[in-house]
Structure 1
């Protein structure tokens, strides 16, 4: 009698022998799966714990260092210095400074205000402080500064415009529209600056504080403004203008009154070219009136009769 256990064992052997060989891809996948299963099940939990513990340990170490140093601020400063030094070692160092908009400001003045040196870590430069120092320069009205990594500082300057030369106690100082001193006029002349030759002079101890009102009034008198040679601040109350043709214009007190007087003079000149005549002065201090002082050879409109001309005659 046949042994049933033998037949079952034989059938199992034939089934295993007849099973086809798996493809290489399946074999490789099986090997890969075996390798994955080689890691213990607790590995994933350990990685998660490490991701949580490492920052905690770092903060703990920082706190311990801060305790030793006395303050957390000292520790943070030390860490910052370390990072900056590291970036410097990686090549982030100041190599070039590009300045745009500089016309009157001296190059050395810009460098001194920046307070930087070539080769220092560029991230160590305090841009806010450098900007503030630049804007303290006489000629600079505003400044912007930015880093262009790895080693450039890009600076844009906006400079004040010279509007007049203040003459006071034998000193000649270039001032802007607000009356702010910019530079010594004699020094600029020695350096060959030709622009100062075109600037009018203002005379008087407190003239710079009042020059903005005069210039504002002259903006509404486009014919008179280019003719201005100098302006004297009289008795801390009003202006006398000296025009390039030698005529003195006496203006009234008050900004509004001064503006109206200059507009009146504009209209007089447009109608009769009064400023082209041989006159000495025009007094506009009285509202709506103009007193004209003539010279010995004056010839005003309507004064064709030579017998009417008199030296120093006013009208």
Structure 2
């Protein structure tokens, strides 16, 4: 027992290990095993017992400068560009672009949105950003961009369906069935579309479909005119205007078709066929027909005056 006490007292009188001049309280806590070697190394280094290898300072400076350069390049956005250049020269440069689904949209416009250069790498190419740019083109409804390694891009688009030409004021635009404006009118590409005229006419897809149920009439319609946001007029190719009522336009259209079949109404010299009254059709002649009618009535009046009166 006394031997144990003396040994313990001898250890207590011995010098305690220290780091940076601070003694460690041996016996009060024990460092984890993973930290013991690093602590011993730091202690030996601080006490001068450890000599660094030759050129250690030069290597440390080189590591520090390299790390600083990489960090600066990362902050300046140069790392992605460097990665693009390296991977492009390793065989991942975009060499082919396949585009499908485009009818109204030119491939040149699509390629411009991809923003490719001669050394664009497929590895660092952001397909989602390119897809968003392509989807912003006027005719594009849905777009997808897929990377096909090692050097190919695949672009697929779904385009909007043109429904009519909408004239509002002096402006002409291509619209979809729901009235959404797609792009400005191009006379060389979309002249076969029906023409709807006036504010509110862009929402007239249902009315256009009603007229299309009568092909013999629809083929002669040049314009569908919305009047005061309440009713419709039909302007025919020969200049006749058919004025439809606010209510009951289906029956009025059917009546016009019947009169044309039976009496050739729409082939006569009339300017307006007004069906806004429920019980009658009002017709207005063209100026030329009015002149001819006026002249004919005048001739009839003269002829009546020249007839000899009856003797009593």
Q: Give the TM-score range, shorter chain.
A: 0.5 to 0.7
1:244 to partner: Cα distance: 0.5
* TM-score, structure 1 normalization: 0.55
2:192 to 198, 207, 220: 198
Segments of structure 1 that go 5 or more residues without pairing to the other structure are 1-79, 299-305, 308-315
Query: 1:159 and 1:87 mapped to 2: Cα distance?
Result: 34
Cα deviation code 1:49-94 (max 9, x no counterpart): xxxxxxxxxxxxxxxxxxxxxxxxxxxxxxx999988865542332
Paired with 1:264 and 1:98, the residues of 2 have a C-alpha distance of 54
| SS of alignment partner, residue 210 of structure 2 | helix
Aligned position for 1:312: none
CA contact (8 A) 1:206 1:233 kept: yes
Q: Would the aligned equivalents of 1:161 and 1:176 in 2 still touch at CA under 8 Å?
A: yes
Q: 2-side partners of 1:237 and 1:202: how far apart?
A: 14
After superposition, the Cα gap between the structure-2 partners of 1:197 and 1:92, relative to the gap in structure 1 and judged at 3 Å, is same
What is residue 208 of structure 2 aligned with on the other side?
215
Asked if structure 1 preserves the Cα contact closer than 8 Å seen for 2:83 and 2:124, the reply is no
SS at structure 2 position matched to 1:224? helix
Match in the other structure for 1:249: 242
1:289 Cα deviation (Å)? 5.8
Aligned residue in 2 for 1:238: 231
**Aligned counterpart, 2:46:** none
Pair 268,138 (structure 1): closer, same or farther in 2 beyond 3 Å: farther
Give the C-alpha shift of residue 240 in structure 1: 1.2
Structure 2: state its 5+ residue gaps: 1-79, 291-295, 298-312
Indicate the residue corresponding to 2:110 in structure 1.
110
Question: 1:244-263 CA distances to partner (integer Å, 9 max, x unpaired)?
Answer: 11111122336xx4344334
Distance 1:284 1:278 in 2: 17
Q: TM-score, normalised by structure 2?
A: 0.55
- Aligned residue in 1 for 2:25: none
Residue 22 of structure 1: aligned partner:
none
Match of residue 274 from structure 2: 283
Mapped to 2, the partners of 1:104 and 1:223 lie a distance apart of: 30
How many equivalent pairs are there?
216
Cα distance in 1, alignment partners of residues 215 and 171 from structure 2 = 29
Counterpart in the other structure of 2:249: 258
Partner of 1:137: helix, strand, or coil? Answer: coil
Change (3 A) 1:218 1:132: farther
Are 2:138 and 1:138 aligned?
yes
How far does residue 108 in structure 1 lie from its aligned partner after superposition? Answer: 4.2
Displacement of 1:235: 0.8
Q: 2:91 is paired with a residue of what secondary structure? A: coil
How much has 1:234 moved relative to structure 2? 0.9
- Closer, same or farther: CA 251–87 of 1 in aligned 2, 3 Å: farther
